[in-house]
Amino acid sequence: MGLSAKEISQHSDRQSCWVIVRGNVFDVTEFLPEHPGGEKIILKYAGRDATAAFDPVHPPDTLDKYLDKSKHLGPVADMEAVAAADKNRKKTPEEEAEAAEETRIAEARKNMPPVDSCYNLLDFEAVARRIMKKGAWAYYSSAADDEISLRENRAAFQRVWFRPRILIDVERVDLSTRMFGARVSAPFYVTATALGKLGHPDGETCLTKAAARHQVVQMIPTLASCSFDEIMDAAEGPGNPYQWLQLYVNKDREITRKIIQHAEARGCRALFITVDAPQLGRREKDMRAKEAALGDGGSSVQKSEGLKSDNSQGAARAISSFIDPSLCWDDLPWFRSVTRLPIILKGVQRAEDVVRAAETGLVDGVVLSNHGGRQLDFARSSLEVLAETMPALRARGLDRRIEVYVDGGLRRATDILKALCLGAKGVGIGRPFLYAMSAYGVDGVDRAMSLLKDELEMDMRLLGARTIDDLGPELVDTRSLGSHPNGVPDDYLARDVYDPLQTPAQRNA
Ligand code: 173
């Protein structure tokens, strides 16, 4: 049996709002004001199928968790009728634009280059940019404010040069290393990034499978599109690689405790607590994309209901309201008390805080990171912070107490090697793998990892390093790293709006 398309379509406004998700009907009328992403986006799908919009931005257990069982109304009787009605419905201008966008993407995908014509990580970005939905591209690629830190993350690597050793026997080169005691095949890992299904229908499991093929670690994000268990299940198999968990700390510590203990029970190897995001940064590209998707006037229903447009958020901010901004140093003993996993602070941005973390004796590692430039604009690059951190740790004899990782802006093996020379145990790579996944799925990520490994092997040879342990500060020239005069990224917004100064005009000229 189930509910008919006709009946569902009658619940299409604020007074009674039903939506279909994966063939089931949900009454979200009372939930509307509580929706973290605002009510407007739900009302857009009132009385119809919301699956395509819902899936990428909600983990599969969301409705079970947050919507009372009495509001789960049961299956749809005739999905064909739902689809037919949707096809015949008069489209709003925004929906027309969406349909045109789908056509554009289908066309772009038809003409996409084969995966093996990507020769480096930036190639995947160039392809992804053309074939991704505008909103998804905006979410992945955006960064905070003027995106100065985003571009500085790349620029900083260009201020460090190599001092290669010569005449070293480099016939055999070994890229493998250890991270928190576990052997991995290369010194990079897939760092946590939210909302994988915006890029690919299989979401984060594409990253999981490629990481497994390559024996590298994947850090699972709190805000994945796939559930934690789906990701862990995708990792199972021969030569099971390692997973870590990235944690956004919930205001409700009981929820956080359950997440941590579940991850530990399922075999996750480390807990990365994000410490650079008490509030999410302003990513204006993301905000503008959401504004475009929702339209400026809204539908006639929305107008008659007097709904305020809710364009202030962007995809990420909308779903981040659970994050606890009161998280502080005093909370660390609690984390230590609920898990035996190594605890790592992710998003540390100054040497003093690394030293402080090490001195607590509660923390096993740090990730120097400015969150891919997505949080505080003008936060320094992780490479620059690394260069001030390692000497500070060594001076206090703390460098063996904690492992130091970096992320942000790494695109080439030379970037990875520069970070390792300066003392990083490993590096996180986020966006490039997302772009490879969005364009080519598992095979794209697989290829991206192979390319990085090829580059690493060659660069280590050319640098005169046989093993990761051979890398050290003597192999790099960092004299320019801390000075930015030739490399402050351009301020695009200001440049576009700047009105040049005028000199006095001649009278009667
Ligand atoms: O960078 C991000 O977008 C991010 O970390 C995040 C945080 C909360 C919700 C979604 C994404």
Residue 274 in contact with ligand 1 by CB distance below 6 A = no
Q: What is the helix (H) or strand (E) element at residue 182, kind and residue range?
A: strand 182-184
Going from the Cα of 9 to the center of ligand 1, the distance in angstroms, rounded, reads 34
**Interatomic CA distance for residues 373 and 408, integer angstroms:** 7
Residue 280 in contact with ligand 1 by CB distance below 6 A = yes
Confidence of residue 58 (pLDDT cuts 50, 70, 90): confident
ipTM of the complex model:
0.95
Going from the Cα of 20 to the center of ligand 1, the distance in angstroms, rounded, reads 26
Active site residues: 248, 276, 371
* CA contacts within 13 A on the Cβ side of 443: 7
Q: What is the mean pLDDT of the chain?
A: 91
Residue 374 in contact with ligand 1 by CB distance below 6 A = yes
% of the chain surpassing 70 pLDDT: 93
Measured by CA distance, the residue closest to atom 8 of ligand 1 is 320
* 3-class secondary structure, 66: helix
pLDDT at 308 over 60: no
Residue 223 in contact with ligand 1 by CB distance below 6 A = yes
**Interatomic CA distance for residues 430 and 484, integer angstroms:** 25
Going from the Cα of 433 to the center of ligand 1, the distance in angstroms, rounded, reads 16
Residue 316 in contact with ligand 1 by CB distance below 6 A = yes
Q: Tokens at residue 418, please?
A: 């520069």
pLDDT at position 422 is 98
pLDDT at position 315 is 60
Measured by CA distance, the residue closest to atom 6 of ligand 1 is 316
Measured by CA distance, the residue closest to atom 10 of ligand 1 is 316
Q: What is the pTM of this model?
A: 0.90
Going from the Cα of 316 to the center of ligand 1, the distance in angstroms, rounded, reads 5
**Interatomic CA distance for residues 123 and 69, integer angstroms:** 47
**Interatomic CA distance for residues 47 and 321, integer angstroms:** 27
pLDDT at position 236 is 78
Measured by CA distance, the residue closest to atom 3 of ligand 1 is 316
Q: Which atom of ligand 1 is nearest to the CA of 221?
A: 5
How far, in Å, are 236, 262, 318 from residue 259 at the CA level? 19, 5, 21
pLDDT at 225 over 90: yes
Confidence of residue 289 (pLDDT cuts 50, 70, 90): confident
| DSSP string for residues in 304-340 | HTTPPP--SSHHHHHT-TTB-TT--GGGHHHHHHH--
Pocket test for ligand 1, best of 249, 320, 327, 346 (most atoms within 8 A of CB): 320
Please choose, from the candidates 419, 411, 372, the residue with its C-alpha nearest in 3D space to the C-alpha of residue 118. 411
Going from the Cα of 280 to the center of ligand 1, the distance in angstroms, rounded, reads 7
Residue 249 in contact with ligand 1 by CB distance below 6 A = no
Pocket test for ligand 1, best of 139, 197, 225, 280 (most atoms within 8 A of CB): 280
Going from the Cα of 139 to the center of ligand 1, the distance in angstroms, rounded, reads 9
Residue 285 in contact with ligand 1 by CB distance below 6 A = no
How far, in Å, are 63, 262, 365, 465, 471 from residue 456 at the CA level? 44, 35, 24, 10, 12
pLDDT at position 292 is 66
* CA contacts within 13 A on the Cβ side of 346: 26
Pocket test for ligand 1, best of 145, 204, 223, 279 (most atoms within 8 A of CB): 223
**Interatomic CA distance for residues 321 and 280, integer angstroms:** 9
Going from the Cα of 371 to the center of ligand 1, the distance in angstroms, rounded, reads 9
Distance, first Cα to last Cα, the chain: 84
**Interatomic CA distance for residues 281 and 381, integer angstroms:** 16
The single-letter code of the amino acid at 362 is: L
Residue 317 in contact with ligand 1 by CB distance below 6 A = no
Going from the Cα of 7 to the center of ligand 1, the distance in angstroms, rounded, reads 37
| Alpha-carbon radius of gyration of the chain | 25
266 or 314, higher pLDDT: 266
* CA contacts within 13 A on the Cβ side of 240: 14
pLDDT at 197 over 90: yes
* Arithmetic mean of pLDDT, 323-341: 97
What is the DSSP pairing of strand 271-274 with strand 403-407?
unpaired
Q: Which atom of ligand 1 is nearest to the CA of 315?
A: 10
* Arithmetic mean of pLDDT, 63-73: 89
The lowest-confidence range among 99-103, 217-221, 353-357, 464-468 is 99-103
pLDDT at 303 over 60: no
Cβ 440 vs Cβ 149: under 8 Å: no
**Interatomic CA distance for residues 381 and 149, integer angstroms:** 7
**Interatomic CA distance for residues 294 and 38, integer angstroms:** 11
- Please name the residue that has the structure tokens 């796939």: 226
* Arithmetic mean of pLDDT, 200-221: 96
Going from the Cα of 320 to the center of ligand 1, the distance in angstroms, rounded, reads 7
pLDDT at 311 over 60: no
Residue 222 in contact with ligand 1 by CB distance below 6 A = no
% of the chain surpassing 90 pLDDT: 74
Distance of CA 238 to the CA centre of its chain: 27
Q: Would you tell me how many other CB atoms lie within 10 Å of the CB of residue 217? A: 25
Dihedrals φ, ψ of 97, to 5°? -65, -40
pLDDT at 300 over 50: no
